[in-house]
Amino acid sequence: MEDAGIWLRELITPYDVYLHGASEILLWRRTEFQEICIVQTEAFGKKLFLDGIVQSSEADEFIYHEALVQPAMLTAGMPRRVLVLGGGEGACLREVLRWDTVTEAVMIDIDAEVVSACRAHLPEWSQGAFHDPRVQLLHTDAVQYLEHVREPFDVIISDMTDPVEDGPSTFCFTREYFRRVQAALGDHGVFALQAGPLSPPEISLHAKVLRTMELEFGHVQAYPCNAAVYGRPLGFAVASRTPIHARLDPERTAPVLDAHVRGPLRYIDAHVARGLMATPPFVRAAIDASDVVYTDAVPPRTAHAAGWEAGA
């Protein structure tokens, strides 16, 4: 097997690096908000990077996006109005629109160039979602949008990049942000969030985000996303004012999936959605031990480093 001609270096911890081998750079540019790179690889097909951090791959993006969206949709029961914050690939939007109960889906992504690039180079992700008449796509700041929501949403999905230094998502993991999200939800509304790595060496960010969420929501549940492209499990969270576990009873949710979700799901079913909510003890212990609350005055700031190397 020939060596990859291009290597993308992603810093996992200060002492660990993930090398992504690519055969071709399809797009590489810096937008007003971040650096975007789309590459072709032999192992995972196409990959999307933002600010040097892999976001998703052609081979296993369905695991990430089904795991982020579908447990929240199932918890909501029969969601009608859904808000997607971030999610530039359009894959979260795709998963939302599988539900025939959805009458309106609003997607907010501040970076129009990223959305345009994904529509041009990664159409397999969105699968026509941007053309659905139920969709309203806005390129504005998510925090500002939340301040002006008048009609509550049934589900809100926050699919943001990690809060890297000076990145566009820094203030989308703070107590004030979560307070705005809660205010934009109905009484039984559900919030889902990409909340940082879940592996023990780097679980600190996830634990702090979950601890911050718990101050604003009555019920918060951490759960994993195990897509191979990230090299370790990511941490997601689902939150609501009312209990979550009881609303994910497979006897209730399986008929709902069969009746209202278009097309076969490849990762989530009624039993998997419930099973993901069994939080490992080390995750719960890390959340309980965290005494950090992220605020707009003291938001999360994670370092990142990426580089490009030609293969030998």
Residues whose CB is less than 8 angstroms from the CB of residue 40 and which lie 6 or more positions away in sequence, other chains included: 22, 23, 24, 26, 46
Place of tokens 């998963």: 95
Three-state SS for 71? helix
Query: What's the DSSP call for residue 246?
Result: G
205, 196 contact by CB (below 8 A): yes
Beta bridge partners of 153: 185
CA dihedral (200, 204, 206, 210) positive or negative: positive
DSSP string covering 2-55: PPPSEEEEEEEETTEEEEEEESEEEEEEE-SS-EEEEEEETTTEEEEEETTEEE
Query: What's the DSSP call for residue 298?
Result: S
Residues whose CB is less than 8 angstroms from the CB of residue 229 and which lie 6 or more positions away in sequence, other chains included: 44, 47, 54, 56, 57, 59, 60
Backbone dihedral angles phi then psi of residue 17, each to the nearest 5 degrees: -125, 140
Give the Cβ contact number of residue 103 at 10 Å: 11
Which is the catalytic residue, given 109, 159, 162, 269? Answer: 159
Distance CA 227, CA 1 (A): 24
Please confirm, yes or no, whether 159 is among the known catalytic residues: yes
DSSP string covering 114-182: HHHHHHHH-HHHHTTGGG-TTEEEE-S-HHHHHTT--SPEEEEEEEPPP-BTT-TTTTSSSHHHHHHHH
Catalytically active residues are 159
